[in-house]
Every structure is written in C-alpha cells, then in structure tokens.
Homo-oligomer: A and B are copies of this chain.
Amino acid sequence: MSFNTFGHLFRVTTWGESHGPAIGCTVDGCPPGVPLSEADLQPWLDKRKPGQNKFTTQRKEPDQVRILSGVFDGVTTGTPIQLMIENTDQRSKDYGDIAQAFRPGHADITYHLKYGVRDYRGGGRSSARETASRVAAGGIARAALAKILPGMQITGYMVQMGPRGIDRSRFDGEEIERNPFWCPDPVAASEWAAYLDELRLAHNSVGAVVEIVAQGAPAGLGAPLYAKLDSDLAGAMMSINAVKAVEIGDGFAAATLTGVENADEIRMGPDGPEFMSNHAGGILGGISSGQPIVVRFAVKPTSSILTPRQTINQRGDELDLITKGRHDPCVGIRAVPVGEAMMACVLLDHLLLDRGQTGAARGAIG
C-alpha cells in the first residue's frame, strides 16, 4: 500500500477532490475476461450515494460512473480500467468561510501544515467524497471475485450508533437493506432513527461501528508477515475517512479472554476441517482459515456540525466556527458500502497474490 494507490497485484489509484470537476480511479491488475459494464458498478455507487434520505448529506450527486478504458466487448482486457465520476452539485460558496479557518476534527490544519496549500472546498482531497471511487473499484473487485469464487459473499452493516449497539439475538440479514442504516436489527434501526433525528436537530452528530463479513473465502489467503490478510485489512479500513479503530474477529474483546476460552477448536467435518467457534475472525497467522472473515471498524462522529466550536485561522486569529454545508449526521451509515468495497479489493488482491506464489494449490488434510 502506498500513497494514493492501494493493493499489491490488484491496485487501485484514486484521484480527485470534493469540488473539482470529477473524481475517479485507475484499477490496475484486474484479471482479463471478467464481464464488466457500468451497470455492474452503479448499484454499489447508488448504495453509497448522498442525498437518499434525511440521515445523509443533502448534496445531490448522481454518482454516475463512466468506464474510460480497460474494457472491450463487455469484458476486462487485463489493462488499466479508468473510472470517472463527475462532480455535479458543488456548492463551493458554502466554503468561503473556511478558506482561511481550520475546522476542528477535520484535516484542514494538517493539510495546511504539510503542504502549505490546500483545496479548502469541501475538504478537497480529504473529503469522504473520495470513497465513491473506492466503491466503484470495489465493484470491479466483486465482478472478478464472482468469476473466480462464485460462492463468496461480502456483507456490511452497522452494529452500533453512538452508544447504542444492536442486539445480536435479533440479527436478521434480510433486514439490512430495509432500513436507511444497513442495520440487521429492526428494533435498533427504529431506535436509531429517532436518536439520529434528535441529534441532527440539535446540530450534532454521532459515531458508529460497522461490521463487514466475507463468507465463502477460501483458506490460504494472506501473505505473511507484513502483508498479512488482517494487516492489509486493518490498513485498508483505517484508510477510510473518519475511521479510528479496526478489529478482526473478537478484536479488543479477545484481550479479556483466557486462552482456554479463545481457542477455536477444530473437528473434521464432511468437507474438511471445521472450527467450533470463530474468535479469530477467520484469520490465523495472517492467513485465512476458510471461516467467515469478520472485520469491524469505528467511525468517529461527523466533525462538520452547526454547533460553534473554537478554532483558529491561518493568520492565527482565534474564532468560533460553525461548519455550514450539507453533512451526514452519522457518516458511519455511508461507510458501510465503503467497507464492503475495501474488503472486496483486499480479498481479490490476496487471491491473485496467492495464486501467483502457490499456484492456488492447497495442503491436504485427511
């Protein structure tokens, strides 16, 4: 992973600012012969698209993706795939106030300190708008995975909003697409709706925890020691805007367990080894075990709020700043499709890495 590129063999390079003419990415290293059109990518972008309900930013972006290269006669050619999404609804005037001032919690001050110059409109390069490119790239990864590993499935959902977690006994996968929070617990979803409304009207925002699960991934993915599958997933998720924490399997809860409790014991099943629990989240020693791969990440509350916060500007003046503009009261919601996309990209990348080194042969058991 480096700079504006992520991935080893399946590599995504993103570009573009929140209020520039367009954003996009170059996807390099995709296997050839994968059926692909814009229609395969649009549904994932639509999932992330702003302005869909009152719980996300009211900026209206169609997020229409165009494929400019790398696809011919309906299939990928193995050469770089360029994706472009035009920015259409840029209300840059909202940002006149912050041209000189640093919004607390935002990257304004660190970009200024590092680069000496920044595109202040909507956060420029540090805007979450960039994640649309990740989602589009993730769509390509999914298309390639669908061809190579048809049984694999990646699902993301929110498991916590502010201090309010879901009740796992009410977990219902079908529920996820039915509410605006990608919440698998219908009771939590309706509580969150009321809670978030209240926060929004109070000119406030709140954080969230998102969980991404990959089912059907084969054993053997991961490139120890410094491109371990969990290490790459942690880096990938932590690179998403506003993410402050990542965990695999039991994560921080594993710290509270004893070795006797934490051992995922193994038995032989009809199709090979079976684990009797999944504290490890599907990864042992940086390599997938064949169990579901479970990643969770925490998203901090939106820093852009209408409540005044103390800050300074470039001249060093102290001031109180209200961040106008159109903002998500809980950015965790739209982080769900982004996390799914990162999972898809990392898994495809490791699938290619693995078949490069080992030819995808697997050690025999039994």
Name A223-264 residues within 8 Å CB distance of B. 223-228, 230-239, 241, 244-264
> For the complex, is A58 an interface residue (Cβ under 8 Å from B)?
no
Contact B31 A126 (CB under 8 A): no
Contact at B255–A162, with CB atoms within 8 Å?
yes
Question: How many copies altogether?
Answer: 4
Name the B residues within 8 Å of A104 (CB-CB): 263-266
Contact in complex: B238, A231 (CB < 8 Å) = yes
* Bound: A326/B219 CA distance, A: 29
CB distance from A300 to the nearest CB of B (A): 4
Q: Considering the chains assembled together, what is the distance between the CA atoms of A109 and B363 in angstroms?
A: 9
Given contacts A4-B28, A5-B226, 4 further A-B contacts (CB under 8 A): A1-B227, A5-B5, A110-B289, A252-B298
| A117 CA / B30 CA spacing, docked (Å) | 13
User: In the complex, which residues of chain B have a beta carbon less than 8 angstroms from the beta carbon of A199?
Assistant: 258
* Binary contact readout A73-116 vs B (1 if CB under 8 angstroms, 0 otherwise): 10111111110000000000000000000101111011111111
A60 CB within 8 Å of chain B: no
Least CB distance from A341 to B in Å reads 13
| Interface pair A78/B114, CB less than 8 Å apart | yes
Expressed in whole angstroms, the Cα–Cα distance for A22 and B82 within the complex equals: 10
B residues less than 8 Å from A238 (CB atoms): 228, 230-231, 233-235, 246, 248
Asked if residues A263 and B110 are in contact (CB atoms below 8 Å), the reply is no
A88 smallest CB distance to B (angstroms): 14
A269 CA to B79 CA in the complex, in Å? Answer: 29
Bound: A252/B6 CA distance, A: 24
**Which of B256, B265, B302 sits near A311, CB closer than 8 Å?**
B265
The reply to whether B235 and A244 contact each other, CB–CB distance below 8 Å, is no
**Chain B residues, Cβ within 8 Å of A232:** 1, 235
Q: Mark A142-157, 1 if CB is under 8 A from B, else 0.
A: 0000001000000000
Assess whether A259 is in contact with B302, with CB atoms less than 8 Å apart: yes
Q: Is A337 an interface residue (CB 8 A)?
A: no
Q: Which of A170-178, A183-191, A348-356 contacts B (4 or more CB under 8 A)?
A: A348-356
CA–CA, A109 and B117, complex, Å: 38
In angstroms, Cα B209 to Cα A73, docked, is 38
Bound Cα distance from A22 to B22, whole angstroms: 15
Proximity string of chain A (1-36) to chain B, C-beta cutoff 8 Å, 1 when within and 0 when not: 111111011010111110011111010111111000
Give min CB distance, A211 to chain B, whole Å: 12
Give bound CA distance, A3 to B333, whole Å.
33
- Docked complex: A268-287 residues within 8 A CB-CB of B: 268, 273, 276, 279-281, 283-287
Q: A72-B117, A245-B248, A305-B259 are in contact. Are A110 and B222 (CB under 8 A)?
A: yes
Chain A 203-215 near chain B by CB (<8 Å), digits 1 or 0? 0111111000000
List, in ascending order, chain B residues with CB within 8 A of A56's CB: none
A362 touches B (CB below 8 Å): yes
Q: Does any Cβ of B come within 8 Å of A124's Cβ? A: yes
